[in-house]
Structure 1
């Protein structure tokens, strides 16, 4: 039983490492603001078009940053859930041995 728990912990760590290496993206206003994050929801980069930046007011910039960040976080959540779901299926398949099935 402890073997299975250890394997589950190892699998979770492998998923976390894999998610750290998957990039997700969010953008607003046709790409004037771009956000790059990991699937573990860590922001890696924010790019703002310099011409847009020189013409934008504070409120507009803040609103568009929120849009781009939320899009990246939504994408990260979707990737994370897909990875966890696949891992859960693998682990559940292996749990049958715990109950002599």
Structure 2
């Protein structure tokens, strides 16, 4: 019914390994998001882990503005990281999946 079951299982294991490799690599891809013309810069990995936040000294006296800019910078960085993550994971999954009828979700 499904043809070469061993071949499909090997392809699935290969896809799983490729996905894990991609996840590990995405931990090294850094993405910056900024707000307030660079007054706050948030750096996250493509796996959406916050690595650094840089704040201009001028903002240290304005708590409300600092909070607003932090939220904007983090959301900006996370959105960029999501886009990279989704594209890379889809490519990793697509390249290793066997051809199973009805399972063309990555094409």
- Residue 65 of structure 2 aligns to a residue whose secondary structure is helix
* Separation in structure 2 between the aligned mates of residue 64 and residue 48 of structure 1, nearest angstrom: 9
Structure 1 runs of 4+ with >6 Å offset = none
CA root-mean-square deviation: 1.6
Where does structure 1 lack aligned partners over 5 or more consecutive residues? none
Superposed CA deviations along residues 22-55 of structure 1, whole A, max 9, x for unmatched, are: 01110000000000110000000000011222x3
> What is the TM-score normalised by the length of structure 1?
0.83
Query: How many residues are paired up?
Result: 94
Counterpart pick for 2:79 among 60, 74, 94: 74
> What is the TM-score normalised by the length of structure 2?
0.79
Higher-helix-fraction structure: 1
1:1-101 paired onto structure 2 within 5 Å = 1-53=8-60, 55-56=61-62, 58-92=63-97, 95-96=98-99
Where does structure 2 lack aligned partners over 5 or more consecutive residues? 1-7, 102-107
Cα deviation, residue 3, structure 1:
1.7
Greater relative CO (CA pairs within 8 A, separation 6+): 2
